Chain A
Amino acid sequence: MLAHETAASAGWFLDNAFLIPVIPAVAFAVIILFGKRLPMKGSEVGIVSMVGALVLAVGTTYQWIQRVDAVHGGEGEHAVARGVYGFARGLLPQAAEGGEPYVEPVIRSWVWWQSGGLEFGLGQHIDGLAVMLLLLVTFISTLVQIFSLEYVRGDRRYTHFFASLTLFSAGMLAMVLAENTVQLILGWEIMGLCSFLLIGHWWEEQANSRAALKAFFTVRVGDMGLLVGVAILFGAFGTFSIQETSRIAMDPATSQTVLLWAAIALFIACIGKSGQFPLHTWLPDAMAGPTPVSSLLHSSTMVVAGVFLVARLYPVFYNGFDIAQNGNSLNFIAVIGGITIVIAAGLAFVQNDIKKVLAYSTVSQLGYMMMGLGVGAWTPAVFHIFTHAFFKCALFLCAGSISHTASHHSFDMKKDMGGLLKRMPITSGVWMVSTLALCGVPFFSGFFSKDEIIDNAEHNGYPIFFVIGLIGAFMTTAYMTRATYLTFFGSPRGAAAGEHHHDEAHAEEHELGLATVGHDAPADAHAHADHTAHAAHGHDAHGAHDAHDAHGAHHAKPAFGIAGESPILIAAPIAILGVLAVVSGYINAAPFHIEKFLEWVEPRASEFAPAIDHATFAWSKAMPSIVLVVLGFVVSLAISRSVFGDAPSKLKGLTERNAVLGAGHRFLVNKYYLDALYENVVVKAVAYPIAQAAYWVNQRVLDGVVNAAGAGGRRTGEWLYKYVDQGAIDGLAVNGSGKAARGTGGALRPLQSGKVNQYGALLFGAAAVGALVLVIANI
């Protein structure tokens, strides 16, 4: 039944899907080796490779859909009876669909290396989830690279930038189609590396390089869980294969304890990678990277790797945490996801940096995905990956577009934005649409995915998370309304009003250079200040300046002839994403009974996958969240207008006047003091003294013993020489042979200060002691 028929049956694209990551990987090598010599500095290689990968991904998607349809049409021999493996609850309407056939993934693998009978393979595991992400990642990567052409034009490390972006895509794609867990780690870590390189892209600024370090290190803390989790799964199941692991995890005979430990370990990795509480602190700092990086890595693709891991090895988590346990159980995934939704949304309220609002929003939305997986809503959670990618990528690119064109490389909403609505029609239009999608307003894509998660939390017997989901929806709308108001409405401020505060930015530069991680200052602003500084001093000869703000040239060709809008290479990707922010939801729009995701992506219940229940959509059930969204909008708009608007208001400066509100505000501004906890307590107060103490022990105790032994040996030697050698032996008949020995030693003496005798003495002394020990041990 499971024997996999190769080549002939699956179709060329499905069989060769492994080429999708290979293309960008090769492109990476080409860019690194030859990029600087190419006419477009290597960016063309990156874009061509992404387009190539996209074409293959489209072909793969097409054939996958054909495959699904064929199986569904054909029924028959592949069918695996549903419910046999014990996890379908049977009560639910979905169970009536029982007997829906399992669509076999297209699995191929090659032995990569073997060691002591264990084999490590490389391969592909193409199923609905993989196909969906392959398409998503190649598509978003392509758009972001096109956007970057303009956005980072003239950057001091333009070629490196494209090389890293391309390698990133290769890593992500390799992980997405991983056939086994080792390949998964491979892709996972390559993404981590690229993230480090890209966040620290402008590493001249200390704040950026510290953000890069923090991101890599925080994620690495989680990665420990990945290594351990994979080791546990391999040790217990004897296989790296994802298919096999899933099968064994679904087997009722498998020890739940093992699954639980593996699931905990793996989920710790997901917490790090997907920015879940309490390791979310790296993600907002990661905004120090260029905006395309934020939009690709730190919102739409890389950070969903953790969500993907849970979705990919779902049986392990499902049975490890006993997600099917109907009732009020609190499992690790759902709890972490739920906490993340709320705390990240809370932080989004106090950000002045538009990218940080979006970063916290991303964290919060990742919380939704995790919570969805935690409450058994696999399909809605995975669907949320899909829709979120489009609208969040769009939002970030809008922020980039504003900063690039309107606010002079600032991301500060309060200082440098405002009133951009009419000036940048494409950007603001897409922003609005994407915001509506993010808030979950009906008929926009986010609604179809987020509402499903909330609905299913309730449906699957997790009422607490249903409530958290609703609270999150309210908060999301509220903070996005605030950000939108600050950016697009009111009167233009700062750079948006045409003030080019070069000198001010320059003055800040030194201060920012010393800033700690988490400094809210916009990274691009320093980069820019940097440039001006160099230009002023005439030291840009070796190109280490950030010319992506060669303004005049770009502003001369606005998109579609609209004055004030960004150039076409920036506006076009944004517009495409804007359209998708609306329509992408209709692939699985429950209210309209379109459920293609269920059909194409969701694995059927089988020996490889648990049965996934679905709540039936009803407008009545969606009402609470819709009401809360409206409420969030109204309340936030009212507050934003009075606090940030031009008219005088009592609310202005309220946090300074009211102690309680002020304390709350400070608490949020300080990010719940988590960063302070990690940096001042964990790193400075704990790790550093421990390291110092360990080193002290090393120098004083361990080395002290060695030095004391050395000194003692020397004194013994001196004593022996003085009293025994010179006094006793030398006085006797050894004189002649002694002279000969000393003569030999003399030849070596200039180089060794005559210590050979002592070494010899020590050697034989030690040998004597050893011999004694052996004698005592009664051999």
Chain B
Amino acid sequence: MDVISDQNWVLSVGTFLPLAGVLVMLLIPKREELLHKQIALITALATLAVGIYTLVQFDYGQAQSLQFYASTEWITVINSGYTIGLDGISLPLYFLSMVITVLVMIYSWDHIPSPGNPKAFLILMLVLQTGMAGTFIAQDLILFFVFFEVVLLPMYFMIGVWGGEQRQYASLKFFLYTMFGSALMLVAFLALFYQTGRESFSIPFLVENGINIDEDVALWIFAGMFIGFAVKVPMFPFHTWLPDAHTQAPTQGSVILAAILLKLGTYGFVRIAIPILPQAAVKWAPVIGVLAVIGIIYGALGCLAQSDMKRLIAFSSVAHMGFVMLGISTLTATGINAALFGMVAHGLITGMLFFCAGSIKERYHTLEIKRLSGMLIQMPKLGWILGFCAMASLGLPGLAGFWGEFPAILSAYNPAPQLDVTLFRTLMVIAALGTVLAAAYLLWLYQRTAFGEPNPEFTGHGHAHAVGAAGNDEHHSDIHDVNIYEWVAWTPLLIAIVVFGVYPQLMFKVMDPAVTQLVGVFNP
């Protein structure tokens, strides 16, 4: 793997800048809420500016090389280094994490969930940002592991403190479950280290040497990483933490969770597990593929059984990540490109859906599908945005979601030569069935909540068209259409969904060289 070390300060600054904001905020008393919001937003914007700089300076002709590469000694006793770099696979996710953080900050401007305390909430978010960005730039397994774990704590507190009624249970489950996976992952990392001669934890080094590990051993090591990443994705049957975490998390938490955190798992597969142990990946791919497709169908069925909108969206993540994993399991450039695209697309679309759900909850104080109806009458703009996101989520061509799903299905027809064609073609057909179910649960949700006449419960005096009169009734005064903060936070996502849907090349051209290099080992 070639590396380019120009401007190697860029990534470190981009990753740790949020912590500078945290330091400042720690010194300011809690009651200065506005100031905290300002500082947090400015920090996030500054980080984003660094991200944009990275985007501009990135050499797209060399997207397969690690750029802005830096490597210094860190924990010399175990030969672990502070090795960072960015290639076409990590760039989109790295940048996405920065964008999402800014948007969530904007949304938080007037949506600090109870019990308030913006200082702590925003600090956690900035720490989270560092963890997320760090995971995507780490090129050393120990460093990766540290960032991977750093992400956990802020999210644990976000759910546990600012979450819904069952926040304690959900946050603990989230934490323990992920921790359990991490433990196995760490063991696998250590085993890798020992198996390659205890020289280095650096990913480029391991990519070169991992292939020499005995296949039997490699299978076990892969298994450890598999569980670690599969919990995070989450893949069936390791997904049960997700609906609880998503449902209980505050809106901001759900958005970040869906948009970025789930991608840490899939990214782990693409960045670490598959390139380092290709010989094991080939053996594991059928398992991954089968579980992915079970996840697609199972997640969709789970959606159909839901009565709560947010839980439904959470289950839809299981289905969508199934498509991502199916793409990865084909071990082809098309499949992995589709998976990477799918990650970003899912981040944008499901993130947006969670934003919508959060705003609906704020207005109606419920997300029970039965009680919601006629949202298009009460809040036409929010209703149409929800419809747009539902359409994007079910994979309408021309919107971003399609380019994650369709190429993944396509790639399953011709998986890597080492894989069983019949199995993958069967998976392809079942996955296609998943697109039908996706249409079913999303449109059914939309038909029930957005169409029809508003529920009299939420319309002042029990008459259908009470928008004008709603203001008189204070109980219902909070049912209003999209406000300015929501517009600012959402518009970039909505635009991105269209732009990537219309011109997917924007992202594919960044990822493609790196992915092609990655799968080169499977197509000699």
The residues of A with any CB-CB pair to B shorter than 8 Å are 111-118, 120, 182, 185-186, 189-190, 193, 196, 200, 203-206, 209-210, 212-213, 216-217, 220-221, 223-224, 227-228, 230-232, 234-236, 513, 534, 537, 539-542, 544, 687-688, 690-692, 694-695, 698, 702-703, 706, 710, 713, 751-752, 755, 759, 762-767, 770-771, 773-774, 777, 779
Smallest CB–CB gap between B201 and chain A, Å? 16
Structural contact, A115 and B435, CB atoms closer than 8 A: no
A777: chain B residues at CB < 8 Å are 216-217, 220
Interchain CB contact under 8 A, B519 and A116: yes
Q: Is the CB of B443 within 8 A of A762?
A: no
Pick the residue among A111, A116, A186 that contacts B334 (CB under 8 A): A116
Q: Which residues of A contact B240 (CB under 8 A)?
A: 698, 702-703, 706
13 A-B contact pairs sorted by A residue (CB < 8 Å)? A115-B341, A116-B336, A190-B397, A203-B451, A231-B410, A231-B412, A539-B465, A698-B240, A706-B173, A762-B176, A763-B182, A779-B217, A779-B220
CA distance in complex: A755, B169 (Å)? 13
Contact of A212 among B432, B440, B447 (CB under 8 A): B447
**Which B residue's beta carbon lies closest to that of A710?**
B176
Q: What 1/0 mask marks residues of chain B from 211 to 236 whose CB sits below 8 Å from any chain A CB?
A: 00000110010001000000000000
Q: Which residue of A lies closest to B387 (CB)?
A: A197
Q: How far is the CB of A290 from chain B (nearest CB, A)?
A: 16
- Pick the residue among A223, A232, A706, A762 that contacts B179 (CB under 8 A): A762
In contact, A204 and B217 (Cβ under 8 angstroms): no
Q: How far is the CB of A105 from chain B (nearest CB, A)?
A: 23
Does B338 reach chain A (CB closer than 8 Å)?
A: yes
CB-CB nearest in chain B for A688 = B304
Please state if B398 and A774 are interface contacts (CB–CB under 8 Å).
no
Q: Which residues of the other chain, A, contact B509 by a CB distance below 8 angstroms?
A: 113-114
A706→B241 contact, CB < 8 A: yes
CA distance A111 to B508 in the complex (A): 12
- B302 touches which of A206, A230, A698, A767 (Cβ 8 Å): A698
A586 to chain B, nearest CB (A): 39
Known: A204-B377, A763-B183, A767-B186. A113 touches B504 (CB 8 A): yes
Assess whether B182 is in contact with A227, with CB atoms less than 8 Å apart. Answer: no
Whether A113 contacts B409 by the Cβ 8 Å rule is: no
CB distance from B321 to the nearest CB of A (A): 15
Q: Are B443 and A113 in contact (CB under 8 A)?
A: no
Report the interface size for chain B: residues with CB under 8 A from the other chain: 87
- Is A695's CB under 8 angstroms from B187's CB? no
Residue of A nearest to B438 (CB): A220
Q: Given A537-B463, A770-B224, do A209 and B447 touch, yes or no (CB 8 Å)?
A: yes
Bound together, the chains give a CA A540 to CA B374 distance in angstroms of 16
Q: Quick one: given A702-B237, A763-B182, are A695 and B305 in contact (CB under 8 Å)?
A: yes
Report yes or no: B516 in contact with A770, Cβ–Cβ below 8 A. no
What chain B residues lie within 8 Å of A221 (beta carbons)?
436
**Contact A691 B172, beta carbon cutoff 8 Å:** no
Beyond known contacts A111-B505, A691-B302: 19 more, CB 8 A cutoff: A116-B334, A116-B515, A120-B504, A190-B396, A209-B451, A224-B435, A513-B452, A539-B466, A540-B465, A542-B465, A691-B304, A691-B305, A694-B302, A695-B306, A762-B183, A763-B183, A764-B183, A767-B184, A767-B187
Residue of A nearest to B217 (CB): A779
- Whether B184 and A770, one on each chain, are in contact in the complex, defined by CB atoms closer than 8 angstroms, is yes
Q: Which chain B residues numbered 329 to 383 have a C-beta less than 8 Å away from chain A? A: 332-334, 336-338, 341, 374, 376-377
A513 to B161, CA, bound (A): 43
Question: Closest A-chain residue to B469, C-beta based?
Answer: A539
B141 within 8 A of A: no
Instruction: Tell me the bound Cα distance from A236 to B503 in angstroms.
Output: 26
Residue from B195, B374, B463, B468 in contact with A542 in the complex, judged by beta carbons closer than 8 Å: B468
Residues of B within 8 A of A190 (CB): 396-398
The prevalent SS among residues of A at the interface is: helix
Distance (Å) between the CB of A276 and the closest chain B CB?
Answer: 17
Least Cβ distance of B279 to chain A in Å? 15
Please give the distance in Å from A148's CB to the nearest CB on chain B.
21
How distant is B235 from chain A, measured CB to nearest CB, in Å? 12
Whether A534 and B465, one on each chain, are in contact in the complex, defined by CB atoms closer than 8 angstroms, is yes
* Contact partners of B303 in chain A: CB under 8 A: 691
CB distance from B411 to the nearest CB of A (A): 8
Chain A residues within an 8 Å CB radius of B413: 231-232, 234-236
Nearest residue (CB) in B for A755 is B172
Contacts of A774 in B (CB 8 A): 187, 191, 220
Verify A206–B195 contact, CB threshold 8 A: no
- The reply to whether B161 and A751 form a contact with Cβ atoms under 8 Å apart is yes
* Nearest opposing residue in chain B for A233, CB measure: B413
Q: B439 near A216 (CB under 8 angstroms)?
A: yes
A687–B304 alpha-carbon span in the complex (Å): 9
User: Within the complex, which residue of B177, B184, B334, B432 is in contact with A228, where a contact is CB–CB below 8 Å?
Assistant: B432
Chain B residues whose CB sits within 8 angstroms of the CB of A691 once the complex forms: 301-305
Query: What are the residues of chain A within 8 A of B452 when measuring CB–CB?
Result: 203-206, 209, 513
Is B407 interfacial (CB 8 A cutoff)? Answer: yes
Contacts of B338 in A (CB 8 A): 115
Within the assembled complex, what's the spacing in Å between the Cα atoms of A771 and B187? 7
Which chain B residues lie closer than 8 Å to A189 at the CB level?
396-398, 402
Q: Across the interface, which residues of A come within 8 angstroms of B466, CB to CB? A: 539
Selected contact of B175 from candidates A204, A698, A759, CB within 8 Å: A759
| Alpha-carbon gap, A465 to B334, bound state (A) | 44
A227-B406, A774-B187 known; A695 vs B302 contact (CB < 8 Å): yes
User: Are B463 and A759 in touch, CB under 8 angstroms?
Assistant: no
B398 in contact with A220 (CB, 8 Å)? no
Chain A CB within 8 A of B98 CB: no
Partner of A779, one of B179, B195, B406, B515: B195
How far does the Cβ of A301 sit from chain B's closest Cβ, in whole Å? Answer: 19
- Give 5 nearest A-B pairs by CB, closest first: A116-B333, A235-B413, A770-B187, A113-B505, A766-B183
B467 contacts partner chain A, Cβ-Cβ < 8 Å: yes
Contact yes or no, A117 B333, CB < 8 A = yes
